[in-house]
Every structure is written in C-alpha cells, then in structure tokens.
Structure 1
Amino acid sequence: MHPISNVEFILLQLVAECRHASGYDLMKLVEQRGYRGWANIGTTSIYAGLKKLSNKGWIVSSESDRKSGKGPASTPFALTDTGQIRLKHEIVDSLSSTRERDIRFDLGLAALPLIEKDEAVAALQARLDFLSTASTEVRMKYESQGVQLPLHVRALFLHPLFLIESERTFVSNLINELLGE
C-alpha cells in the first residue's frame, strides 16, 4: 500500500469527522485546529488534495442545495467505504510505527475517535514495541562509539534517546487512559 501525504491524511480525517463538509468548511477547520502549521497545508493544497482523494475513490462529492452569497453552491464531500478502510489503516499505521518527533503520529492522535478503542490500544502497544526497538538501536550505536565522545556526538545520541523514553511514557499513559474510559 502506497503512503498518502499528510494533507490527504488530514482531509480524510476531517471528511470522516464532519460528514458532508465542503472545501470551505474543511479550510476553516484546518485553520482553526492549527493543521496549517503542522502539515504545511494551504488553501490550494486543500482543494488539490480533495481532487486527489476523489480521483482515488476515497471521497465523493454531491450537489448541495445550500447556497449562500453570490458564489456557486458549495460542494460537500463524504467518505466512501474504500476511503474509510484507507483512513483506518493510516490511523493505525501512524499510531503504531512512526518515529518520535514525527508529525504523522500527531495526526494519528487527532484521529483517535475515528477508530475503535481496541484498535487504538493495539496500535499504541505496537508503538511501544517500535519505540523500544528504536531505543535499543540508538543505544547500541551510541555504546559502540566508545567512552570518550565529544559533547556534540553524545548529544546526537542522547537527545533521541531522551525523546524516545519521553514518548514511551506518554504512550503508556495514553493507553492507561484509554483503558480507563
């Protein structure tokens, strides 16, 4: 399965969440939620992304009878069954296997309500395994460097190790919170 862009991922989430939202409605949500800064998503990329998703058969547009102002009537979009399947795959994948400091994980978190709790917990458990492996790999590379490393080399290894451990704590707490709901 080919990866999809962050813009496509965000748009799939928003269309699933809003059901029958127009491009303008989606643009307002992107701005309101701060996605513009996270994923470098602008007006042009929103409309281009909607066209790509439509061409892939993941969303469909329908005629709207809502007309406001002098412009054309807005075109609402809805997720197809294929789009719903793809969105769930992307959410689970982003929650389970993206590196620390990866925006894709944040986008997966934003989409948590769109998957079942057991799917979210399983994906986050897989993320803990992924982070554990990543930590081991970085630690092994660090330890293979020797004991007298200059500060900048130590920092190159210690910074990601610290972030991975912090991420593991966050994910563990999130899993506990999901299980406690």
Structure 2
Amino acid sequence: MGIISNVEFMLLQLIAECGQASGYDIKKLVDQRGYREWTNIGTTSIYAGLKKLGDKGWIVSEEPHRKSGKGPLPVCFSLTDAGLAKLKAETISSLSATRERDSRFDLGLAAMAHIGKDEAISALRTRLDFLEQASVKVRQKYEAQGSAHLPLHVRALFLHPLSLIESEQAFVARLINELLEESEIWKQ
C-alpha cells in the first residue's frame, strides 16, 4: 500500500477522528495536543503531507460549495476506503512492533567515557532539568485539554510521553548516582 511518514500517519488519524477536516482544523489539533513537543510537524509539513496523502489516494479534498463571510471556505479532507485501510494497518503495526528511541542520547551515553566524570554528571543533571521542563509542558497541555475527561486515545497521547519521561528521569538519576560512587579513572 506504500510507505507512510509519521506526519502522514498523524494526518490520517486526525482526519479519521474529525470525519472531515481542513488544514486549519488539523493545525489546531496538532497545537492543542502538543504533537510538536515530540515529533517534527510544522505547518508546511502538514500541507505537504496532505498533498502526499491525496496523491496516494488515501484522502480526498472537497471544495466548498458556498462562501462564508469575507473569505472562501477552507478545503476539507476526508479519508477514502484505501486511506482508512492504511490507517488501520499502520495503527496495528505501530502498536505491535514500533520501538523508537532518541539514538543521539544513546550515542552520548556510549561516548561518556571520553569526557570528565564531572562533565558527565553536570550534563546529566542538565538533562534532568530538561526532562522536568518537558514533563511540565506535556502535563500543562494535558490539563488544558481536560485530562481525565478526554477520550482514552487522546489521554494516551499525553500519558505515554509522561511515562517515558518519568522512566528516563529515574534512569538518569540512577546513572548520576553510579557516577558519583564510581572510582574508575576517567579521561580528563
């Protein structure tokens, strides 16, 4: 059925959820749900993604039949049967087999012995601050959207990154403690 990017996958989800959505509706949902906090989705990538989905036959655009107010009505998009099938297949695949991590952080962990122990501890403490700020941002968006009153699929969108952040905070704190206790000679 074709390769699908993260942006295209997200667009299929949001259009399916809305039934019919304009680019503006999608941008608003992306902002409200904090997608930009954890994925690379800009306004231009939304419109480029919509074009790609249309080219693949997964969505159709509907031109407005009448004007509203001073400007034209926005073009709305809806899923085709093929688009719905692709959304279902991608959802099953991503829930069952996707494992994504920030490999740049892993590379930093692997290279840690090449910096001073104090530098490593300082960098990891800075990461704890970064993670705390990220947690606060996600939690604020979650609460602003209605937290526990949200549908499960929307709550999960917030609770999963919060869970990952908490797990990474615990990992980094343990690593700092090990570094503080370690007596091994580090490169300076």
Question: Which interval holds the TM-score relative to the shorter structure?
Answer: 0.5 to 0.7
What is the identity, as a one-letter code, of the residue corresponding to 1:62? Answer: E
Alignment of 1:59-98 (within 5 A): 59-65=59-65, 67-98=67-98
Structure number with greater Rg is: 2
What is the identity, as a one-letter code, of the residue corresponding to 2:28? Answer: K
Q: Is the 8 A contact 1:13 1:111 kept in 2?
A: no
What's the RMSD between the two structures over aligned residues?
2.7
Structure 1 equivalent of residue 8 of structure 2: 8
> TM-score by structure 2 length?
0.51
Structure 2 equivalent of residue 31 of structure 1: 31
Q: Deviations over 1:47-77 (max 9, x none)?
A: 0100000000000011224644533320110
Aligned length: 109
> TM-score by structure 1 length?
0.53
SS at match of 1:39: coil
Taking the aligned partners of 1:66 and 1:76, their CA distance within structure 2 comes to: 13
- TM superposition shift of 1:33: 0.6
Structure 2 equivalent of residue 17 of structure 1: 17
Taking the aligned partners of 1:31 and 1:65, their CA distance within structure 2 comes to: 28
Structure 2 equivalent of residue 178 of structure 1: none
Compare relative contact order (CA 8 Å, sep 6+) and give the higher one, 1 or 2: 2
Alignment of 1:122-161 (within 5 A): none
Taking the aligned partners of 1:18 and 1:45, their CA distance within structure 2 comes to: 19
Taking the aligned partners of 1:77 and 1:23, their CA distance within structure 2 comes to: 8
What is the identity, as a one-letter code, of the residue corresponding to 1:75? Answer: V
SS at match of 2:9: helix
Matched, 1:46 2:46: yes
Unaligned 5+ segments in structure 1 are: 103-108, 113-150, 153-181
